[in-house]
Amino acid sequence: MAEACSRLEARLGHTWRRRELLTQALTHRSFGAHNNERLEFLGDGVLNCVIGLMLYQRFPDQPEGRLSRLRANLVNQDSLHEIALELELGRHLRLGEGELKSGGAQRPSILADALESLLGAAILDAGFDVASGIVEHLFGAKVDAINPTQQGKDAKTRLQEWLQPRRMGLPDYALTQTLGQAHAQVFHVECRIPARNLKTSGHGPNRKAAEQMAAEAALIELEKI
């Protein structure tokens, strides 16, 4: 367990001095009374504050309403779930027996809440600057990839608009795998663009979210060419 937590800390860029805070952040309410719900509350505030500051600094010409929409697109369950999967956070969670058997370690809401709890634990362990650094590390690439003029259009729409003027046809989305229990499934989708011999993948709590992730990945690859 200690070795696994050390790998998680390395991915987050912070080693906890108060190990009990890290343990609490990884403890779901199904495991016991001393769980991560209060830390989640604190972490949610940290996340919204730091993402707001990142957007404010990166887009000095954008009005308040646009900044709020940009933040909402970043700070949501799908986005947090995606990052939690990249961190393999599910393997570190302490869950009650029933929650463990029912696939709670892969449930989007539980993973998203645990990620926020880690931010709450970080600010208590080392202060705002450290917690802010974790947010910037986890979300920096997402913020850098934002094009404010494209906000309001989802990735599938933007991909179609990129392909059509170049006469490359429409992308094809194929469901490749479905994992987990019926109430906590993770869908894996592949986006295929035959004209460029390109395949990208995405995953999410539903097929729509997985397709959006795959489309975003395709856009990134196409813009490299």
Which of 160, 178, 177 minimizes the C-alpha distance to 169? Answer: 160
Q: Residue 218 burial (CB < 10 Å; 0-12/13-18/19+)?
A: buried
Q: Residue 192 burial (CB < 10 Å; 0-12/13-18/19+)?
A: middle
Q: Residue 225 burial (CB < 10 Å; 0-12/13-18/19+)?
A: exposed
Instruction: Give the residue numbers annotated as catalytic, written as ranges.
Output: 44, 116
DSSP, res 167:
T
Residue 201: strand pairing partners: 190
What are the phi and psi torsion angles at 193 (to 5°)?
-125, 90
| Dihedral, CA of residue 125, residue 127, residue 131 and residue 133, to nearest 10 | -130
Amino acid, single-letter form, for residue 100: L
Neighbours of 57 (CB within 10 A): 9
